Structure 1
Amino acid sequence: MRMIKSIKELREALCGERNKNKTIGLVPTMGFLHEGHMSLVDRAKQTCDIVVMSIFVNPIQFGPNEDLASYPRDLERDTALASARGVDYLFTPSVSEMYPTVNKTTVTVSDVTESLCGASRPGHFDGVATVVTKLFNIVQPAYAFFGMKDAQQVAIIMQMVDDLNMPVTIVPCPIVREKDGLALSSRNVYLNEEQRRQALVLSRAINEAKDAYAGGEKSAEALKELIVSVISHSPLADIDYVEIRNYPSLTEAAIISGQEVLIALAVRFGNTRLIDNTVLSPVKEEAACFAQ
């Protein structure tokens, strides 16, 4: 694995790979890697000849009262994990390399950014869209791999790529969970033992909603009420939002019928904000029932 900090050096290296007709895939991360990130690398290696992983804690996607300064970092550990998993290039630019001057250009995606985490974290997705655009321009990947852990982010990046005719295919990858159901997240390290135990209520609430849907419940409001009720049994849980939206448009859903629907939630345990979700696919499920 080759570690690179310079945009110029990375571009030159990848130009050489493209001249050999190598297909390049990008796995963008903020580091403090876990098995969720590694699953993206695995998918990238199945799809591409060359895998580029970026590790960059992007300051412009953090709000003024968020955890930029304390966001977990361990580049030595991350380097070992990336190398062992078969990453070809590890791009670890500094903030001054990515933003050498005050940024006067921002990429804004409207509509799909305005609900869910976009409502709770104003400006966050402008920062995400801007840095992802920069990474796409630097790496020029044929494919980019994003985890469905942040399903709204995936929808936003797909919208941006479509709208701006970016020559990259976005590959959404499934959420990876601990054995007890907690979705893997770099921020899980913030949780104390009791918060970690109570955080299992998130996947439990989602599973109960999925069971209710499978049992015939198609009302989004009824499923939301069920999720809130389950989460409310955890005394440390402070709900930011529970939403059910059509996916990937993120328009409001009243009755679940005929298209994919996202069940998404964000809940705080102490100072730690966790997100989780699942996507229901009514068309596929109804087709499977019909086939039987």
Structure 2
Amino acid sequence: MASSTSALPPSSVPIFTTVASYREWRRKAFDERKSVGFVATMGALHDGHLSLVRRSLEANDLTVLSIFVNPAQFAPHEDLATYPRTLPRDLELLCAQSVSLDVDSSGRNERVFRTPSAVFLPSVSEMYPAGISQDVSEQKGTFIEVKGYGHQLEGRTRPTFFRGVATIVTKLFNAIEPTRTYFGQKDIQQALLLRRMVRDLLLSHPSPESLHIVPTVRDAVTSLALSSRNAYLTQRERELAAPTLYSALQAGREAWAAGRSKDECIRAACALIAQTTERLNLGSTEKVDVRVDYIEMNDPESFDVLSQTINRAEWEAVEEGQARPVILSGAMWVGRTRLIDNIILGDQGKLGIMS
């Protein structure tokens, strides 16, 4: 049964705070042969999260969303204490989601109306019975690492991040047992790494094929990739500086399409950020601090960095002209806010990104 904790905000969607209570609900879904879609979040929901929920509602009988701010994926100096926590608003947004669609039931077409089915809202002690420290050297218990695939890109700046992600997502998959699960393209390395983990660990719920990657949702005006951490941005940062990262990646894509080398593509992206920042701050009394963490191009299979001199024609020739995709991604600081984004160069369908 759902938790009866009086401290929880009101919700029309059942809330489960323990693995045991959720599993009782899940057994019934198994018995009724109902499919379960799953969206894992850390809360502070925005339309990027909700787009994943809607995808799940369209494809599954039942949809579960988890909210858990995972200490193991925050380094000691990172923003665990200040990460946005907006549970009442999250539940309000989630309860408002619905889809209406035609389904084939017993040989006849029926119109069905689906809404989210459950929220999994565990405590830290529920997910880490042995306790948890942000300092990896002090951690005790069982942790998951995906060797050789977590030190590039985001892992270069945040070396313990993917260990924490792989561990918590494995726990969530074991608890939720989803038929299908949905992750956003904004965190492309995370999504691809988790699909590899599911395959390597021989998981059935979900299978690698049922871990779906959904395109990044962007602000309609600025094209800024939606993120819970965007709440840290000032209005000036959000409107003028933050969208620069996506513009820079587009400049890199244009250079790649024009036959430029990888090094020239990165230079074009970085130059656009520098020029835009200089223009924003010229004569302004309200300076915007913009710092590039990285702009890089990587193989989506190995995450290895492409060679500096390779160009599009040479890259595609590696697989006999099959338009092998490339991840063009970047991270940058705007004030105190670290933003990430990416563009897939080539056929993103080959990475299992939904259309």
TM-score grouping bracket, smaller chain normalisation: over 0.9
Residue 112 of structure 1 contacts residue 155 of structure 1 at CA under 8 Å; is this kept in 2? no
Shift, 1:98, TM fit? 1.1
What is the RMSD of the two structures over their aligned residues, measured on CA atoms?
1.6
Question: Any idea what SS the aligned residue of 2:245 has?
Answer: helix
Provide the aligned length of Structure 1 versus Structure 2: 284
> What amino acid maps onto 2:259 in structure 1?
E
**Helix, strand or coil at the partner of 2:302:** coil
Q: Aligned ranges for residues 60-209 of structure 1 at < 5 Å?
A: 60-85=72-97, 86-102=115-131, 103-167=140-204, 168=206, 169-179=210-220, 180-196=222-238, 197-209=240-252
1:107–1:20 CA distance, 2 compared to 1 (3 A): same
1:212 corresponds in structure 2 to: 255
| SS at structure 1 position matched to 2:55 | helix
Per the alignment, residue 239 of structure 1 pairs with: 292
The answer to whether structure 1 residue 224 and structure 2 residue 266 are counterparts is yes
Q: TM (normalized to structure 2)?
A: 0.77
Q: Which has the larger radius of gyration?
A: 2
- SS at the partner of 1:51? strand
CA contact 1:155–1:249 (8 Å) conserved in 2: no
Q: Which residue of 2 aligns with 1:249?
A: 302
Q: Deviations over 1:178-225 (max 9, x none)?
A: 0111000000010112221211111111122222333x2252111111
8 Å contact 2:294–2:332 — kept in the other structure? yes
In structure 2, give the amino acid aligned to 1:111. Answer: G
Distance in 2 (CA, whole Å) between partners of 1:284 and 1:108 is 27
Asked whether the 8 Å contact 2:269–2:295 carries over to 1, the reply is yes
Any idea what SS the aligned residue of 2:296 has?
A: strand
Gaps of 5+ in 2: 1-12, 98-114, 132-139, 279-288, 317-323, 351-355
Q: Which amino acid aligns with 1:95?
A: V
Post-superposition offset of 1:269: 1.1
The equivalent of 2:134 in structure 1 is none
On the 8 A contact 2:37/2:179 being kept in 1, the answer is yes
Mark the CA change 1:282 to 1:75 in structure 2 (over 3 Å): closer, same or farther: closer
Share of identical aligned residues, percent?
Answer: 39
The one-letter code of the counterpart of 1:171 is H
Q: Distance in 2 between matches of 1:48 and 1:267?
A: 37
Query: Match of 1:232, SS?
Result: helix
TM-score, normalization by structure 1: 0.93
User: What 5-or-longer segments of structure 1 have no aligned partner?
Assistant: 286-292
Q: Which has the higher helix share?
A: 1
SS of 1:231 mapped into structure 2: helix
Q: Which residue of 1 aligns with 2:329?
A: 264
Q: Which of structure 1's runs of 4+ aligned residues deviate more than 6 A?
A: none
Amino acid corresponding to residue 88 of structure 2 in structure 1: E
Residue 263 (structure 1) shift: 0.5
How many angstroms apart in 1 are the aligned matches of 2:23 and 2:196?
26
AA at the equivalent of 2:152: S
Q: Which amino acid aligns with 2:215?
A: P
Shift of 1:277: 0.5
8 Å Cα contact 1:217-1:223 kept in structure 2: no
Which residue of structure 2 aligns with residue 290 of structure 1? none
